[in-house]
Amino acid sequence: MALDDLYREVILDHYSHPRNKGELPDPDIKVEGANPLCGDELSIYVKLDGGRVADVRFVGRGCSISQASASMMTEQIKGKTIDEARALAGRFKAMMQGEPVSQDELGELMALQGVRKFPVRVKCASLSWVALEQGMDEFETAKGKVSARASSEQP
Ligand code: ZN
């Protein structure tokens, strides 16, 4: 199917040429995530400015899905507020759970929707987003700004 081919191309392109790869000095958020089932590891660095993601980078190793997903995530959240990034993480996880989502909401991230057919790989695709959410939680806790929504969310 042509769309599947296109999505595969997008994933392979991000895996072969990861965007925003490397460490970030003095990050506001630094968080690590691991998926021992597959051997995926990620460290994510976020620099905030005026409540927005001014810069974000990652380092990691693991399967193509986990690394491509992290690369795509960095492109998608740059310039967003923490709340906007959280909302996008929510939509991404909804897509992984098989809920209907639209191109308008997720853009290029739609390329990863085929992964949901393979439950083992869903963790690979979600690793960067789960780690990002954890990092944002830790940041807001440190700032004493945890919202009621965040604290009522189930892990
Ligand atoms: Zn993996």
29 Cα to the center of ligand 1, angstroms: 23
Distance from Cα 33 to the centre of ligand 1, integer Å = 12
CA of 89 relative to ligand 1 center, distance in Å? 18
Which residues lie below 8 Å from residue 56, measured CB to CB, with a gap of 6+?
Answer: 20, 24, 44, 45, 46, 47, 73, 74, 77, 78
Ligand 1 center from residue 71 Cα (angstroms): 14
**What is the SS3 assignment for 31?**
strand
Is 0.95 topped by the overall pTM?
no
- Measure 64 CA to ligand 1 centroid, in angstroms: 7
Ligand 1 geometric centre to CA of 67 (Å): 8
CA distance 39 to 6: 26
Q: 143 exposed, middle or buried (CB, 10 Å; 0-12, 13-18, 19+)?
A: exposed
Terminal C-alpha separation, the chain: 35
pLDDT tens track, the chain, 155 positions: 577 888 999 999 999 999 999 999 999 999 999 999 999 999 999 999 999 999 999 999 999 999 999 999 999 999 999 999 999 999 999 999 999 999 999 999 999 999 999 988 999 999 999 999 999 999 999 988 555 555 566 55
CB 20 within 8 A of CB 68: no
Q: How far is the CA of 112 from the centre of ligand 1 (A)?
A: 13
Distance 50 CA to ligand 1 centre (A): 34
